[in-house]
Structure 1
Amino acid sequence: MKVLHLVSAYPRRQGDIITPWLIETIRRLKEKGLEIVILAPSYKGLTSHFHEGIRVERFRYFFKRWENLTHEETAPDRVNRSIFYKLLVPFYVFFGTLKTICLCRREKFEVIHVHWPIPHALFGLFGKWVSKAKLVLTFYGVELRWVKQKYPFLRKPLKLLIGKADVVTAISTHTRNEMLSLSDRPITIIPFGAGLDIQEKPATPATPPELLFVGRLVERKGVSFLIDAFNILSRKLDCRLFIVGEGPEKEKLIKQVAELKLGNKVIFTGGIPEEELAWRYQNCSVFVLPAIIDSKGDTEGLGVVLIEALTYKRPVVASRVGGIVDIVEDGKTGFLAPEKDSLALSQAIEKLLTDKNLSRRLAEQGYGFVKVRFSWDRIIGQILEAYRK
């Protein structure tokens, strides 16, 4: 089976860390015998190339110097920030569609798989007409919120495009529910980005206990509420909070820690190597994802870091938002707290730190759940089934 994947970004060179979960998905599909071709936008004149044995076709859409709508930052963020990037969009859509048509006329694809369907579903639809391939659309959530809040005039065209697809998938129950206002057609949940080689990993919790957050330091991650929760907790218990990641909110969060006089109890590690990250997971007593619905209406599409923590059998606490509820069932696979509620967050963490039996039970149950639900074997099986429909 020959499959064309339409994406908004793909590694430009070896070592370029872009959507690693997608790279792994492609690699595993290739191992199943599928012939995969990637179509992605150029970046500053980048031409077609191979990445880890996969052919990556690039489409040029503007002069080399300004060809940076994607890759370094999400296209919606760039478009929202600058009139120049808004003007780039028609060029991107026209030349992306043209490249898809040419590619599908030249080669015979059985499936065209579109990731981030705005605007790539349009590319896929033209490819479907040219090649008679099946069209699969995968929604991640952020593109739906973008349309609903910023560009509501795109709702009807998007609904029409969804209606033309052979299979539509969403990464979580939350994303599927967001799509119900656009379409009542069947939507398959496939948690792209969540596939892990899930096997029990060693855990050696530190003394004093360590709390861990891993993620990009942006508003929707809710780290400021975690710091407030830790401030409440640290008055009762001797513990430490490790915040792993970089992002635009970092300086603001460092200032918050200083104002609360938390000193060396809150440690910002920045980005760290994979080996050190594994060690952090092993050392933590509780993993926390305090996600919120941010000022733009964006939130967690799934929360893959929770799955990662549970593979180490670490108990988790998270907010009851977005796709997180597909991973954390309150009182069974972890604890859920209302978003932006630092007191509730601190109380949930305290329960786990002070009740070792409870902590162990939730961690075991969480591990068992993700081992069944989010393994690579299951996810790749679901993708192949979607292709065969």
Structure 2
Amino acid sequence: MSAQSAKDKPIKVLWLTSSYPRSKDDSASVFLRYLAEALANQKVSLHILSPDHPEVQATTQPDGIVCQHFRYFWPRKLQMLAYGSGILPNLRAAPCLFLQVPFFIMSMTVTAAWIMVVQRPSLIHAHWIFPQGTVAVFLGKLLRIPVLVTAHGGDAFGLKGVFVRVIKNWTIKNCSAWTSNTSATSAAVGSDLPKPQIIPMGIDCKKFAGADCERTLMGKGPKKLVLLFVGRLVEKKGVADLLRAYVLLPEILRKQTELWIIGDGYERKKLESLARNIQHVNSIRFLGRIPNQQLPGYYAAADMFIAPSIIDIQGDTEGQGVMLLEAMASGLPIITTNVGGISSVIAHGETGLLVNPGKPIEIAAAIEKLLNDKNFRETLSIKACKAAQDYDWLTISSKFVNLYRESNSIRDK
């Protein structure tokens, strides 16, 4: 087969993932849906296997994408291991869910094996090292199919212990290739392992850069400056520090601003209670989950984006921070913390401001600096928007396509 015909031949790929949007409006790991759609546009045929959940709805997929959900517990309404705040936070919040873990792994393994036997994909791409990557490597060895594993962060920073480390090391050493979203995530997996290719997750730059806030908010936009947070309301996101920082602002600045918090998670009630004890509570708005397609309008309505991530009690933190890319593409000045892989995305003083994690006083000082210096805000905005172009999905998906073709060519030899 000629090089040109090999390049034009569609690649069949089986994805294994612990999270994928459950409906057209769901934001759970929505970056994977965007990556899948970008890959489908480049002649990649994807079969995506993800966990079932009570909120999974039948959704029409673009040409080239099949999405299948595996059942792992009965009755269906009890399947609560995945989604929500994420598997690790769900386990911490409800330890009884550990009972579902073996059924989860067994069901995924059996379903994936059946797909592989029937469809014979060119390769398996596992998102997150464990359990997806481990299952993929086991099945890949059994059926002689190459395996690509991608580390997204939670699997690197959040999974601790000798037993888990041994499994992760075995998975990385025995896969055909692996990628990491940042060098920090790679280092957290292990410095003595084969080196990955660094491929971050991406962003649809046009969608966020061209958003219309008036259409989203129906002309009822705020008259105040908006400080925006978007993300899951879990410990590692550091929203409690953001609330404490907001109350430290001079009263005149609090009266000129509103703090919008978009997202949901197990910490929401605790955070709302904390907000009620803060002066000018009417300036703090918990907006809950917003459909992903509506988010660009909220970014467009904002004047500043704040992501005060921390290292939580389990050692988990941000591997990359896709919401930072959304804010960058929207042209927002950004304040965030120097943890995990965030410094790979944000350059201090150039595309945003980096402060120390767990320091509300530093967050407040950074907010005050940006509120009082409009020119600096605009400079950060321009540079951030330009830097976001490097993360456009066309660029990112092309890197994965190249890896897919390399793995496929090795198999064909």
Q: TM-score, normalised by structure 2?
A: 0.83
- How far the C-alpha of 1:83 sits from its partner, in A, is 5.6
C-alpha spacing 1:281/1:106, structure 2 compared with 1 (3 Å): closer
2:321 is matched with 303
CA RMSD of aligned residues (A): 2.9
| CA displacement 1:235-285 (0-9 Å, x = unmatched) | 352422222223332333333333232232222233345676434322322
The one of 306, 322, 346 aligned to 1:328: 346
CA contact (8 A) 2:157 2:189 kept: no
- How far the C-alpha of 1:169 sits from its partner, in A, is 0.8
CA contact (8 A) 2:85 2:265 kept: no
1:227 is matched with 243
C-alpha spacing 1:328/1:322, structure 2 compared with 1 (3 Å): same
Tell me, in whole angstroms, the C-alpha distance in 2 between the residues paired with 1:117 and 1:48: 28
C-alpha spacing 1:158/1:248, structure 2 compared with 1 (3 Å): closer
1:1-389 → structure 2 map (5 Å cutoff): 1-12=11-22, 15-43=25-53, 51-53=61-63, 54-65=65-76, 66-72=78-84, 74-82=86-94, 84-148=96-160, 151-181=161-191, 183-192=192-201, 194-198=202-206, 200-201=209-210, 207-237=223-253, 238-240=255-257, 241-272=259-290, 277-371=295-389, 373-389=390-406
2:4 is matched with none
C-alpha spacing 1:206/1:365, structure 2 compared with 1 (3 Å): farther
Tell me, in whole angstroms, the C-alpha distance in 1 between the residues paired with 2:276 and 2:93: 31
C-alpha spacing 1:64/1:257, structure 2 compared with 1 (3 Å): closer
CA contact (8 A) 1:211 1:288 kept: yes
Unmatched tracts of structure 1, length 5 or more? none
> Which sits farther off after the overlay, 109-118 or 96-105?
96-105
- Percent sequence identity over matched residues? 29
| CA displacement 1:168-227 (0-9 Å, x = unmatched) | 11122221120124x4311112122x3223474368896542212122222211122212
Q: Secondary structure at the match of 1:184?
A: coil
- How far the C-alpha of 1:27 sits from its partner, in A, is 1.6
| CA displacement 1:111-164 (0-9 Å, x = unmatched) | 11001221122321233224432210011121233431xx42121122112111
CA contact (8 A) 2:169 2:193 kept: no
CA contact (8 A) 1:105 1:130 kept: no
Tell me, in whole angstroms, the C-alpha distance in 2 between the residues paired with 1:362 and 1:177: 29
Code of the aligned partner of 1:388: R
CA contact (8 A) 2:229 2:262 kept: yes
Q: Secondary structure at the match of 1:4?
A: strand
Tell me, in whole angstroms, the C-alpha distance in 1 between the residues paired with 2:338 and 2:182: 14
Tell me, in whole angstroms, the C-alpha distance in 2 between the residues paired with 1:207 and 1:83: 45
Code of the aligned partner of 1:88: Q
Code of the aligned partner of 2:200: P
Tell me, in whole angstroms, the C-alpha distance in 1 between the residues paired with 2:21 and 2:270: 31
Q: Secondary structure at the match of 2:306?
A: strand
Tell me, in whole angstroms, the C-alpha distance in 2 between the residues paired with 1:213 and 1:159: 35
Tell me, in whole angstroms, the C-alpha distance in 2 between the residues paired with 1:48 and 1:213: 30
Tell me, in whole angstroms, the C-alpha distance in 2 between the residues paired with 1:107 and 1:200: 40
| CA displacement 1:329-375 (0-9 Å, x = unmatched) | 1111111111111221122122222222211111111111111x211
Q: Secondary structure at the match of 1:339?
A: coil
CA contact (8 A) 1:333 1:362 kept: yes
Aligned residues: 384
Code of the aligned partner of 1:382: K
Unmatched tracts of structure 2, length 5 or more? 1-10, 214-220, 407-413
- How far the C-alpha of 1:49 sits from its partner, in A, is 9.2
Code of the aligned partner of 2:284: V
- How far the C-alpha of 1:60 sits from its partner, in A, is 4.1
Tell me, in whole angstroms, the C-alpha distance in 2 between the residues paired with 1:11 and 1:203: 24
CA contact (8 A) 2:25 2:292 kept: no
Q: Secondary structure at the match of 1:322?
A: coil
Code of the aligned partner of 1:163: K
> Which sits farther off after the overlay, 59-68 or 129-138?
59-68
CA contact (8 A) 1:110 1:134 kept: yes
CA contact (8 A) 2:25 2:291 kept: no
Q: TM-score, normalised by structure 1?
A: 0.88
CA contact (8 A) 1:29 1:380 kept: yes
Code of the aligned partner of 2:352: G
Q: Secondary structure at the match of 1:147?
A: coil
